[in-house]
Structure 1
Amino acid sequence: MLRIDERLIHGQVALIWSRNLGVSRIIVVNDKAANDPIQTASLKMATPDTMKAIVLTRENAKVLFADPRIQQLDSLIVVNNPQDARFVTEIVSGIPRVNIGNFGRVGKAEEKKQYTDNLRLSDQDVADLQAIEDSGITLNYQIVPDQQLIAFDKLISKGA
C-alpha cells in the first residue's frame, strides 16, 4: 500500500498500519526528508525495532523500485503529498491502493479546500489524486484501518 500522510512515519503508520498490513519495512519517498539527516534519523527512530525504515529521494526511489527483488518484500510506502504519491505510482507497478490519511493541514489554508477534519486539498492535489485513480489504482481516504473507508470520488463530491 502507498499512504499519503504529511507526518510520514508516526504512531498511526509505524504501529497501526504497518501491523495491519503485516509489512517488514516502511519506505519513505520524500526529497526533503531524505536530504535532512535529522529528519531521516527521527523517522527511523519512530519505526518499530521489528521493521526497517528506508528514507529515499525520488531519484533513489527510482533505483530501488527498478530492482525486481523489491517486489518480494512486504513494504508500506509513505509519502507526504499527492505529488510524491503520483510520482511513486508512475514508477512502481503493482501498487494495489493508495490510502489518503492526514494531509493539507500545513500551509496556506486559503489555497486548499477542506474535505474532512484531517484533509485539505488544493486543485493541484485533486488533479494528482485524480490521475492516480484514472490509472486504475484504488484510491481512498482512511485514517486508521478500523475507521470507515471513503472512496476518493465520494470524498471529492462531498467536499466543502
Structure 2
Amino acid sequence: MAELQLDQIDFAILKLLQSHGKLSNQELAVKIGLSPSPCSRRVKALEESGFIAGYATLLSAEHFNLSLTAYVQVRLDKHSHEVLESFETRVCGYDEVLECCLLTGSDADYQLKVLVEDMSQFKVFLLDKLTTDPHIAGVHSSFVLKQVKNQTSIPLPQS
C-alpha cells in the first residue's frame, strides 16, 4: 500500500477527531466542508494507513474514586533482554499502571504512571505486586499534588 500523503483536509479531520471522537460522519463532513461520502473515505484511509490508531472513551477517574496518581521510577538489577521483557510483561498485567516507559538518561530503567484510590491502595500495589519482582533493585515514588495539564491529543503540523 502506498503511503498516504496528508493534506489540510486530512489534518483538519484528525484534529477534530482527537478532540471530538463521537462526531458522526455527517457532523464531521459539515465541519470540514466535505460531503459525507468523501469524508468517510478519507477517515477510512486514515484508519487503514495507521494515522488513526484506534478509538477510546476517556473515563473520569474521580467518578471511580481514583484520586491518587503516582509516578514510580524502577531500577532493575540486570538489563538482559529476558529480565526487561519479564518486567514489562508483569507490569502490563497491572490494571493500576496507566503507562510504562523504558528510560534513558536517568538512574531509573522504567517510569510507571500509577492510578489508585488512596495511599493504602498504593501500598498494596507497591508491596504486594510491583516489588515482588526479584530483579527490582530500587523504586522511587512521587505523588501528584495537582494536575496542571492532561492532554490525549498529539500535536499535529500546522496546516
Tell whether the structures are fold-level matches, with TM greater than 0.5: no
Shorter-chain TM-score tier = under 0.3
Larger Rg: 2
TM-score of the superposition, structure 1-length normalised? 0.23
